[in-house]
Amino acid sequence: MCKDMNSEIRNILEGVRDGNISVDDALLRIKESPFEDIDYAKVDLHRKYRQGCAEVIYGEGKTGAQIKGIVGSMRKNGQESILITRLRGDSFEDISDLDNIRYYKEARIAICGSIPEPDGIGKIVVATAGTSDIPVAEEAAVTAEFLGNEVVRLFDIGVSGLHRMLSRLDDIMSASVIIAIAGMEGALASVIGGLADCPVIAVPTSVGYGASFEGLTALLAMLNSCASGVSVVNIDNGFGAGYVANLINHTR
Amino acid sequence: MCKDMNSEIRNILEGVRDGNISVDDALLRIKESPFEDIDYAKVDLHRKYRQGCAEVIYGEGKTGAQIKGIVGSMRKNGQESILITRLRGDSFEDISDLDNIRYYKEARIAICGSIPEPDGIGKIVVATAGTSDIPVAEEAAVTAEFLGNEVVRLFDIGVSGLHRMLSRLDDIMSASVIIAIAGMEGALASVIGGLADCPVIAVPTSVGYGASFEGLTALLAMLNSCASGVSVVNIDNGFGAGYVANLINHTR
Amino acid sequence: MCKDMNSEIRNILEGVRDGNISVDDALLRIKESPFEDIDYAKVDLHRKYRQGCAEVIYGEGKTGAQIKGIVGSMRKNGQESILITRLRGDSFEDISDLDNIRYYKEARIAICGSIPEPDGIGKIVVATAGTSDIPVAEEAAVTAEFLGNEVVRLFDIGVSGLHRMLSRLDDIMSASVIIAIAGMEGALASVIGGLADCPVIAVPTSVGYGASFEGLTALLAMLNSCASGVSVVNIDNGFGAGYVANLINHTR
Amino acid sequence: MCKDMNSEIRNILEGVRDGNISVDDALLRIKESPFEDIDYAKVDLHRKYRQGCAEVIYGEGKTGAQIKGIVGSMRKNGQESILITRLRGDSFEDISDLDNIRYYKEARIAICGSIPEPDGIGKIVVATAGTSDIPVAEEAAVTAEFLGNEVVRLFDIGVSGLHRMLSRLDDIMSASVIIAIAGMEGALASVIGGLADCPVIAVPTSVGYGASFEGLTALLAMLNSCASGVSVVNIDNGFGAGYVANLINHTR
Amino acid sequence: MCKDMNSEIRNILEGVRDGNISVDDALLRIKESPFEDIDYAKVDLHRKYRQGCAEVIYGEGKTGAQIKGIVGSMRKNGQESILITRLRGDSFEDISDLDNIRYYKEARIAICGSIPEPDGIGKIVVATAGTSDIPVAEEAAVTAEFLGNEVVRLFDIGVSGLHRMLSRLDDIMSASVIIAIAGMEGALASVIGGLADCPVIAVPTSVGYGASFEGLTALLAMLNSCASGVSVVNIDNGFGAGYVANLINHTR
Amino acid sequence: MCKDMNSEIRNILEGVRDGNISVDDALLRIKESPFEDIDYAKVDLHRKYRQGCAEVIYGEGKTGAQIKGIVGSMRKNGQESILITRLRGDSFEDISDLDNIRYYKEARIAICGSIPEPDGIGKIVVATAGTSDIPVAEEAAVTAEFLGNEVVRLFDIGVSGLHRMLSRLDDIMSASVIIAIAGMEGALASVIGGLADCPVIAVPTSVGYGASFEGLTALLAMLNSCASGVSVVNIDNGFGAGYVANLINHTR
Amino acid sequence: MCKDMNSEIRNILEGVRDGNISVDDALLRIKESPFEDIDYAKVDLHRKYRQGCAEVIYGEGKTGAQIKGIVGSMRKNGQESILITRLRGDSFEDISDLDNIRYYKEARIAICGSIPEPDGIGKIVVATAGTSDIPVAEEAAVTAEFLGNEVVRLFDIGVSGLHRMLSRLDDIMSASVIIAIAGMEGALASVIGGLADCPVIAVPTSVGYGASFEGLTALLAMLNSCASGVSVVNIDNGFGAGYVANLINHTR
Amino acid sequence: MCKDMNSEIRNILEGVRDGNISVDDALLRIKESPFEDIDYAKVDLHRKYRQGCAEVIYGEGKTGAQIKGIVGSMRKNGQESILITRLRGDSFEDISDLDNIRYYKEARIAICGSIPEPDGIGKIVVATAGTSDIPVAEEAAVTAEFLGNEVVRLFDIGVSGLHRMLSRLDDIMSASVIIAIAGMEGALASVIGGLADCPVIAVPTSVGYGASFEGLTALLAMLNSCASGVSVVNIDNGFGAGYVANLINHTR
């Protein structure tokens, strides 16, 4: 039970003692507080370091009408900025008449409202091994930007052409967080992890064929990285990587 | 190629231009610089935020004599603090006469030299689902402490007794990073990830039997966490989790 | 060989002894009895605690004409209520002119005839982690209702928002059986299993992507639940969970 | 939040209103109550249908001294009966001088105190395919007996000799719950599930070699049982099966 | 090198010695003989016990024109009977004007020419657990019939309704070979293997969902059968089972 | 229900009709008959073509005293020949004083009593890829000999030295059944299956390392044999292969 | 750092020393050299032994317009010959108006420009087990031809008909490299590896069904080949095999 | 059938024609020739480019006496140099009195006789990611040296410290074949494959823990290398890699 709740309940109790609150009212308010506490604590903290209020909708499998409904309800409750992930182009058609909405095609993301000014500790580098990894990378990058981060994109710097990576050494060395995205054998995470001095979030992608097993090989390889400082999210989980990177870049 | 190297090579070139450095000397120094650059950049950055100089030895499979040799060599090169991981108790016996060495039995870690004052952004919480996960947790905790972090231990707060976790809600809500360690079904990471507002590093452990498949089940479960903000390291990789958490807690 | 058969065969034998039954007739009746015994014993027992007579048709891969034929044949044999599972909406079109038939779209179930009054020991709670798990949950819930149980639905109470589950603690604590349905990492089963004091039937779903491996991860996680009292059925097997829950809720 | 807590908090609030309880005392008691509620609700319910008070210690990896300490502490708190599972014979030697303790060798279980009279709805049948499955079966059976159930043991009735199973048809047909335990291909669960009219808890065992993959094959087979009414626990998890069966046999 | 080749080469050598065959001709004929020997031995043996001459075409992925071409070429070479497997209905349309061709829809097999009189040692029983396994069963049955065997079909006798199997005990006990076909948990093979006294060829099918993993579970279960006398072929390999059963039923 | 049982029950019924058998006696005998029928039918059939009476004991995990007890009991019941499989050398020491017992060290088999004259249709060839596969091969060969078959051993004829196999072509072409035993990639089964004209029982062995996964690779390869006529048993299951081969070689 | 770079930097340094190159120009040229070195070293070496200049485009997922653009850019940079792999027939339609382009349908490859005269050490044999493996084989063969190798095609020589392979023994024995391509159980690689005296590149294909697991079984089998001299590439990776074979056939 | 056999058989035939060889003698000699041809062709070719005669014994599981016997027999047949792999140190003790034998401890290899002068096309580079991979590397290196190759060892140049690898760029760029040995995530193969212009043989090792799955992760990663020119052998198969590298380095 965290501190805010303590003082809230104390206020209620003092109200009861002083006769300002009935026992029934107090009971009702106390019953609701631990769960509100758990629920909104997180949101409150979010609010602390981001001035707007942002929420996320997982678009996959939702109809345009459903998404419109959720957005409408959120806006009524004061949400200014809303991120909609895994939204197919044809689904966007159905909601494109919403106020102030933009679609990021490669990222399969729509954003309602404005993107905040970056307020993170430093920059988030989003790197990919190949061009086929770019949709996952864009999902990560746009998510991070939406959450208030400056993002540097380093695409197609896979380890089979090491010079491409080394030519971007400055960006890699000066990042606060790096998201390393690769399919096939996923070696990018290890090589970047060996060069960089910041947390590396590795994202295996389902790019490849045969014994890539739709991302499993890259996943296992990244979990076994010989470089320290690497942690891993689910296959193709660009949103998750962007979300973790944002948390790290707002560590407090 | 990063900035420090630029100025170093410029110095050499100006020396050549001015006749202060011979072409042969310059050639030798330039040949070595890109690799030195890659190598030492990382160490330098480390030095910036940690005043001591710390290094890590992976103890598994090394004899006492070998470890002593490495420690001796490191100390000659000015390393004051050295972390030795995966060191069995009987192996420690062989090196226990080294100056200023202490053994952390549960963590299977030995530390030569002093542990620095914590200088991270906040606190690192190390949580476990059960008591059998404690050795991995101690490896993570001692690693993080060695690298200059304040650590809060919340052991045996697994989800089958939710009250145990909720009674520590204050610690969970106020952490800068949380390391969530669990075997079996690994649900701890999801529940903590749902409560906390900071990055969660999930460590699957090989605790369990049958269809736990020596940690594979916990690993897969953690990668699929329904809570955002969770990333994962290898099974039983307490050191890796402590290392990542340290990087996050020193984000700059 | 169970008791009813004993007395049946004894009757036949006494008939033979007394000259009332010929050897040939007796032989025929005895030959059929052990298998009838095995076959119908179960049906009889069903009848004991449920006044109606209910049967199940697995609809997947059957044409409307085939289903109509089976239903007709069952009704001639006195089956009043018939459950048809895994029935697609377009397949229902073909049989919607059957007397007294209703379609439960989310459950993909059609029911011919009436649903009996609940006569179980207590209530069956059907809980899901997310909204994508609802089709499996409805299959379980409608199956249980069809078999004579009162069902309480608790949808979208996944562990990443713990307050949602805790706010339904009363329902969870007072259930006779709980069906816990989740994809991704399947942690719902463990958390409910830790809270509840009744049998928990866990149903992994194929909800998720990447390393969820179409439900395998949730399946393995549920089998390794750290909470006692949890047993598991196949991925997406809502019918099976409803059937087991019904048996438990009619334990005698 | 369940009902008992409501009235408890109401009492506290009325105490505050009436000046009998200080705000500080009330705050403390209210802070603890939601978690106490979660914690003790379960124990209370247990007490309702079992007059004694029983607890379980997982013996694996605990020293004799540790177990003695836990038992002593439990007894001080009024626990009369204690179940210690996964206890090796040589570990039992170390604690055999505890008052009123008995060792069940095949089950690898020790019990302190008395076993209660059975008070379940009916009988629990524990069946195994072969003799090598008996240790798991005894773990299940002794657990169920300890929790207040009458147990019928049907060992070595595997499907390769169908007559062995059919000769026990009476026991199978009259059970309230059946625990079906098998390694290799695990077909026992399906055949019993087809015969019986009660919930069947299937326990795969690691008995077998080669492509049995230490119980994985039996586990998968049981999850795919063509018979309805079967649910599954982890490989070799006799305790879990006994625990679930007990819950079912005490359904209320 | 087998005996027929010996005498063939001796004839050639004697021809050379006697001046009837030139060295060059002899060299050519000797070069070809070891491979011809390997090739045709098999066909010759086939001919011994089957009066016709039969061949098999794997239809999957072949066009109607291609199949017609192969059939024409075979017929020119004296093949009277030709089995075409894995032939889709629409592909059959394209070749239905071939002389003396019939299509077995469920088996997805077409046969050109006549089916020989059965000349095997005894009868081949083809048994399935469910109705969904029938296509694989028909592929096995028609293959066996084409190769000269009497086939008894026992469909839908799965172990969840044991009486269905027991009512066909006569057929099972009097078979020369049994093909046991099942998906899901594949228990049919074990139960039949326990009852029968002849070789049982088990065929796992891809019938099932979730943790049936498209036949893998049935495959593993069948390989671990607790009954002796069971061997296994690939998932859905009805043709292979029919072929092996035919070889057994013609053992010499 | 098979024919023998029909006449047995008719006899009982006629005895009842004629007053020679009481109803109670008749009831008892009829109750037992369906299961006796299932049980002893098999043994009877065995007896028909093998004059002796043979039984098998699985030795693994049994003490010398236990085995002695089982052998004694079997002998009292008229079993003259007994096969004991998976018997370690030191376990044999404990039972070596039994009358008329011999130990086959490589096969890890002991046989009590005499081995019958071969009475099969033809010869069983037992072939191995390498010398490490010989223990499994000897288990198969001795089992087959014990059950009344002539066995030809072709060891170490793996496909990497094709001439070794081709030099034994006569044996391969004239076999009635072939048992093909191989670890690693298991190609032996396919090559022999392509040459031979009889059923091939493939036995994968756990010989190999790394990606042989203790026999899994050989198992999968054998199941996918491009040669028709191959069926497969469990990894290292020499006994099972010998048993199936015996059934085939006694097909009736 | 390799030799060419040494002399290049020495030239720059001497230019600086002699006042011919400014420090700024020198700095720029030195900064770029290590990476250029890594990049172009490879291309240079290629040029040494192949007079033309060849490049590869991976066609999958690229539009006709994209491919045309890349080809145009390459040609401007002097690339005369360009290999486009994984190009579907309908995609070729879009680019068929490019100068001097030909499409190899089975190989799914298009080549712009001329194919060089073979200049390898010897011949590359491309062998397949069946006809379904031919597309992969053609990808390998055309790749090798494009890179300057003489290729011998031996298709459909799988081990189930050993005579087919033995009749091509001359080709196998005289190859410089062999590419062995097979699905199902992949035994071709082992048999060829046992016969040949040159490196064998094994390519598993996804040909097969059921337990072939889309090439996994062939892959594992090839990795466990009992023949020395075999190494393996990814499933269906004809291009990779052709590329490796070319490197071997140009070993210097 | 290859050319040498042609002329041999022609000689025999001419001898028969001319009356110098009897038909019986000719028959015997012809019968043996195709298999001899297959068998010895390989050895003959070996002899062509290596003056000595070398053979390999797989030491694992063989006793000292067995190895001595094989060596003695080989030497009688003129084998001067013999390689014994997978020989444990204590097993070497038993054979250390053989003439002219040396033990390579890290490689677990013993060599009888002299190692030939290198006669390959160029140099073989053996590279490892870490120090734990060295035993596998030494097995590869000593094998290659024994077969007549110059070997360059580059140990501990894993990708987490890229400068270590780049500092050996000269060796990598000038190799004829490279053996890349790594456990964990196996990224070494991809990075070297991207730099080098020669065939790369990748050897996964079982170095690692948790999700390295004893080398499986490295194996899969290497098979999915994004760099062309990489082929893979079995986990820990240093001998196989050395053997393939030798074949490549003697391509003719």
Q: What is the pLDDT of residues H42-87, one digit of tens each?
A: 433 333 333 334 578 888 878 888 889 888 888 887 778 899 999 9
Tell me which chain H residues have a C-beta less than 8 angstroms from the C-beta of B235.
209-211
Q: Which residue of H has its CA nearest to B205?
A: H210
Q: How close F166 gets to chain G, by Cα (Å)? A: 10
Please name the chains neighbouring B, where neighbouring means 3+ C-beta pairs under 8 angstroms: A, C, D, G, H
Q: Which residue of D has its CA nearest to B212?
A: D234
For residue B62, count other CB atoms closer than 10 A to its CB.
Answer: 19
> Per-residue pLDDT for chain F (252 aa), expressed as one digit of tens each?
334 456 777 888 888 889 888 888 887 776 555 444 444 334 333 333 333 345 788 888 788 888 898 888 888 877 788 999 999 988 899 999 999 999 999 999 999 999 999 999 999 999 999 989 999 999 999 999 999 999 999 999 988 877 778 778 889 988 999 999 999 999 999 999 988 889 999 999 999 999 999 999 999 999 999 898 999 999 999 999 999 999 999 998
How does pLDDT run across C184-202, given as a tens digit for each residue?
A: 999 999 999 988 889 999 9
Q: Which amino acid, one-letter code, is at A55?
A: E
Residue B176: name the closest of B130, B217, B229 by CA: B229
Could you say which of E34, E36, E235 has the minimum Cβ distance to residue G211? Answer: E235
State the average pLDDT over residues E32-51. Answer: 40
Q: Which amino acid, one-letter code, is at F4?
A: D
Contact assignment for B166 to D234 by CB distance below 8 Å: no
Report long-range pairs for G93-97 (Cβ below 8 Å, ≥24 apart). Answer: G93/G64, G94/G63, G94/G64, G94/G65, G94/G67, G94/G68, G95/G64, G95/G67, G95/G68, G95/G71
What is chain A's length? 252
- Cβ-count burial D165-194 (b if 16+ within 10 Å, e if not): bbbebebbbbbbbbbbbbbbbbbbbbbbbb
Does F139 contact D at CB distance below 8 Å? no
Q: What is the DSSP letter of B252?
A: -
Angle at G32 between CA G26 and CA G37, to 5 degrees: 120
State yes or no: pLDDT of H6 exceeds 80: no
State the average pLDDT over residues B192-198. Answer: 90
Pairing of strands F109-112, F81-85: antiparallel
What does the alpha-carbon distance between residue G243 and residue G248 come to, in Å, rounded to a whole number? Answer: 9
State yes or no: pLDDT of E41 exceeds 50: no
How does pLDDT run across E113-158, given as a tens digit for each residue?
A: 999 999 999 999 999 999 899 999 999 999 999 999 999 999 999 8
Does D49 contact F at CB distance below 8 Å? no
Could you say which of D132, D163, D211 has the minimum Cβ distance to residue F35? Answer: D163
Contact call for residues B121 and B94 (beta carbons, < 8 A)? no
Mean pLDDT by 10 residues, chain D (252 residues): 57 88 80 47 36 68 85 80 92 93 96 93 96 96 97 92 79 94 96 92 96 96 94 97 97 91
What does the alpha-carbon distance between residue A235 and residue D221 come to, in Å, rounded to a whole number? Answer: 28
Tell me which chain F residues have a C-beta less than 8 angstroms from the C-beta of H33.
none
What does the alpha-carbon distance between residue B181 and residue B222 come to, in Å, rounded to a whole number? Answer: 10
Contact assignment for A211 to G235 by CB distance below 8 Å: yes
Q: Where are the alpha helices (DSSP H) in chain B?
A: 3-17, 23-49, 64-76, 89-95, 134-146, 162-166, 169-173, 188-195, 216-223, 238-249
Tell me which chain E residues have a C-beta less than 8 angstroms from the C-beta of D129.
226
State the average pLDDT over residues C206-222. Answer: 95
Q: How remote is the C-alpha of A186 from its chain's centroid?
A: 21
Could you say which of A14, A23, A30 has the minimum Cβ distance to residue D14? Answer: A23
What does the alpha-carbon distance between residue C154 and residue C170 come to, in Å, rounded to a whole number? Answer: 11
Tell me which chain E residues have a C-beta less than 8 angstroms from the C-beta of H23.
10, 13-14, 17
Q: Which residue of E has its CA nearest to H15?
A: E17
Does C106 contact A at CB distance below 8 Å? no
Q: What is the DSSP letter of H117?
A: P
Does D2 contact C at CB distance below 8 Å? yes
How does pLDDT run across H188-246, given as a tens digit for each residue?
A: 999 999 888 899 999 999 999 999 999 999 999 999 998 989 999 999 999 999 999 99
In this prediction, residue B133 has a pLDDT band, given cuts at 50, 70 and 90, of: very high
Does H6 contact B at CB distance below 8 Å? no
State the complex-level ipTM: 0.84
Tell me which chain F residues have a C-beta less than 8 angstroms from the C-beta of C31.
1, 6, 9
What does the alpha-carbon distance between residue A186 and residue A194 come to, in Å, rounded to a whole number? Answer: 14
Q: What is the pLDDT of residue G39?
A: 41
State yes or no: pLDDT of A112 exceeds 90: yes
Contact assignment for C132 to A61 by CB distance below 8 Å: yes
Give the three-class secondary structure for B97.
coil
State the average pLDDT over residues B136-163. Answer: 93
Backbone angles phi, psi at H231, to 5 degrees: -125, 165
Tell me which chain A residues have a C-beta less than 8 angstroms from the C-beta of H217.
217, 220-221, 223-224
Helix (H) or strand (E) holding F130: none
Q: What is the pLDDT of residue E54?
A: 59
- What is chain B's mean pLDDT, rounded? 85
Q: What is the pLDDT of residue E152?
A: 97
| β-bridge mates for residue E179, sequence order | E126, E201
Give the three-class secondary structure for B177.
strand
Does E140 contact D at CB distance below 8 Å? no
What does the alpha-carbon distance between residue F189 and residue F218 come to, in Å, rounded to a whole number? Answer: 10
Contact assignment for C235 to E161 by CB distance below 8 Å: no
How does pLDDT run across F171-184, given as a tens digit for each residue?
A: 998 899 999 999 99
Count of pairs with CB atoms under 8 A, one residue in G, one in H: 122
Q: What is the pLDDT of residue D32?
A: 54
Q: Which residue of A has its CA nearest to G233?
A: A211
Q: What is the pLDDT of residue A32?
A: 54
Residue G208: name the closest of G200, G217, G196 by CA: G217
Side-chain half-sphere exposure of G14, counting CA atoms within 13 A: 6
Q: What percent of chain G has pLDDT over 70?
A: 87
How far apart, in Å, do the first and last CA atoms of chain D sit?
A: 20
Could you say which of D162, D166, D211 has the minimum Cβ distance to residue F235? Answer: D211
Backbone angles phi, psi at B55, to 5 degrees: -140, 165
What does the alpha-carbon distance between residue E60 and residue E78 come to, in Å, rounded to a whole number? Answer: 24
Helices (H) and strands (E) in chain D, counts: 10, 9
Side-chain half-sphere exposure of H184, counting CA atoms within 13 A: 25
Backbone angles phi, psi at E83, to 5 degrees: -105, 125
Q: Which two tokens stand for residue B181?
A: 């360690």
Q: How remote is the C-alpha of D232 from its chain's centroid?
A: 14
Contact assignment for B248 to A199 by CB distance below 8 Å: yes
Q: What is the pLDDT of residue F237?
A: 97
Q: What is the pLDDT of residue G25?
A: 83
Backbone angles phi, psi at F193, to 5 degrees: -60, -30
Q: Do chains G and F touch (3 or more CB pairs under 8 A)?
A: yes
Q: Which amino acid, one-letter code, is at E231?
A: S
* Between A57 and B111, the higher pLDDT residue: B111
What does the alpha-carbon distance between residue B40 and residue B36 come to, in Å, rounded to a whole number? Answer: 6
Q: Which residue has the tokens 């081709």?
A: F166
Q: How close E28 gets to chain G, by Cα (Å)? A: 13
Give the three-class secondary structure for B167.
coil
What does the alpha-carbon distance between residue G234 and residue H220 come to, in Å, rounded to a whole number? Answer: 9
What is chain D's length? 252
What does the alpha-carbon distance between residue B126 and residue B241 come to, in Å, rounded to a whole number? Answer: 10
pTM of structure? 0.88
Measured CA to CA in angstroms, residue E53 lies from C105, E44, E47, H40 at distances of 56, 10, 6, 39
